[in-house]
Amino acid sequence: MTKIYNFAAGPAVLPEAVLQQVQAELLDWHGSGMSVMEMSHRGKEFMSIAAEAEADLRELMAIPAGYKVLFLQGGASAQFGMIPMNLLRGKKSADYLNTGEWSKKAIGEAKKFCEVNVVATSADKNFSYAPTQDQWKLNADAAYVHYTSNETIGGVEMFWTPNVGAVPLVADMSSHILSRPVDVAKHALIYAGAQKNIGPAGLTIVIVRDDLIGETVAGTPSMYDYKIHAENESMYNTPPTFAIYVAGLVFKWLKANGGLAAMEKTNTTKANMLYDYLDGTSFFNCPTAKENRSRMNIPFTLKDEALDEAFLKGAKDQGLLQLKGHRSVGGMRASIYNAMPIEGVRVLVEYMKEFEKNNS
């Protein structure tokens, strides 16, 4: 098999050990004679898979009692609408921090349900940083405060948790959940699509405080009501069974590899390898503010964009795939999630050095 490193933003690289286990168990899960894909979601085998996945996630993230963990579908994009539908609870407005493309999408959906107060924005510098809280204009009447803790496209990560007092704090952690420990208790709701740093596409994880569910806006369909999913232990309808199973294996892989504190250490090492090189050359440029440099998604541009195509082609020839950046930033983006080995980043940096030498 050709050795490649996959730097895609999502769906993205998965741990090789997990894929091997999936392969080994694909036709016959634990002597059941069938694939997880073929199992009833209400049978005891799959119920045990789902329960173990939830227990492992609770342990990894140290999720306190008083929070529901929901395994849903519809992606983080469905959450953009479900959050106002469930959390407005009679209020007329919500606060949103705008740090980039995903914040804007979340704001757009919320506007269908309520007044949106943008507490601060980094639009002035093409969303290359996150405004610090002293620049926010919070509204005491807001139903909740929403922020995107890692903007996947701009590569802007927030390394601090906003302090919003008694107002519920909501975080879109899609592209860096499980990359380091976070204080769940400071949040009212955390959500993430699985296909970045968790598992296959099709699963969305929602962690929500118990007291916030049960009061939806009129007309909310059952599928968009957290309470219905919570009461049915995420089995109100058929859940994404195979994606839950693979995510569960990823949780076990994380536990076996030291949990989130160990992940943070490795992720910091990997990100610094790339940022240190970018800082030491004028051939490449990293647009992100130093204090917000994401450890998961690293955008960079070539000084001469006429070389972009040659850079990508040369990278592909070396097995370094999916490095093309998002059109709103241009250039390149290396997504280096938990499952990206250090070796992959080392090979990338070597290639960049070589490319610089040959094109300067």
Ligand X SMILES: *Cc1c(COP(=O)(O)O)cnc(C)c1O
- Binding residues for ligand X (CB under 6 A): 10, 75-77, 102, 148, 152, 172, 174-175, 193, 196
Considering the complex, state which of residue 102 and residue 144 has its C-beta at the smaller distance from ligand X.
102
Check if 304 is active-site: no
Q: Which of 29, 56, 95, 172 is an active site residue? A: 172
* Residue 214 C-beta: closest distance to ligand X, Å: 25
160 is catalytic: no
- Residue sitting closest to ligand X (CB): 75
Q: Is 209 helix (H, G, I), strand (E, B) or coil?
A: strand
Q: Are strands 93-98 and 67-72 parallel, antiparallel or unpaired?
A: unpaired
**Cβ 336 to ligand X, closest distance in Å?**
14
Element holding 188 (H helix, E strand) = none
| 242: alpha, beta or left? (left if phi > 0; alpha if psi -120 to 50) | alpha
| C-alpha span between 91 and 323 (Å, rounded) | 43
Smallest distance, Å, CB 198 to ligand X? 11
| Pick 69 or 352: Cβ nearer ligand X | 69
- State which residue, 29 or 326, has the beta carbon closest to ligand X: 326
Cβ distance 151 to 101 under 8 Å?
A: yes
Q: Kindly name the residue from 56, 68, 102, 324 that is annotated as catalytic.
A: 102
* Maximal C-alpha separation, the chain: 63
**How far apart are CB 29 and ligand X at their closest, in Å?**
26
Query: Is the CB of 102 or the CB of 355 nearer to ligand X?
Result: 102
Query: Is 29 assigned a catalytic role?
Result: no
Shortest separation between residue 180's beta carbon and ligand X, angstroms:
16
Residue among 200, 201, 207, 199 nearest 182 (CA): 207
In terms of Cβ atoms closer than 10 Å to its own Cβ (0-12, 13-18, 19+), residue 302 is buried
Q: Which of 237, 205, 230, 272 is nearest to 53 (CA)?
A: 205
Q: State which residue, 243 or 302, has the beta carbon closest to ligand X.
A: 243
Backbone angles phi, psi at 334, to 5 degrees: -105, 115
* Between 54 and 157, CB nearer to ligand X: 157
Compute the distance between CA of residue 125 and CA of residue 72 in angstroms, rounded to an integer.
35
Active-site position among 29, 68, 196, 253: 196
Q: Measured between alpha carbons, how far is 106 from 95 in angstroms, rounded to an integer?
A: 11
**In the bound complex, what is the minimum distance in angstroms from residue 106's beta carbon to ligand X?**
7
Instruction: Point out the residues that are catalytic.
Output: 102, 172, 196
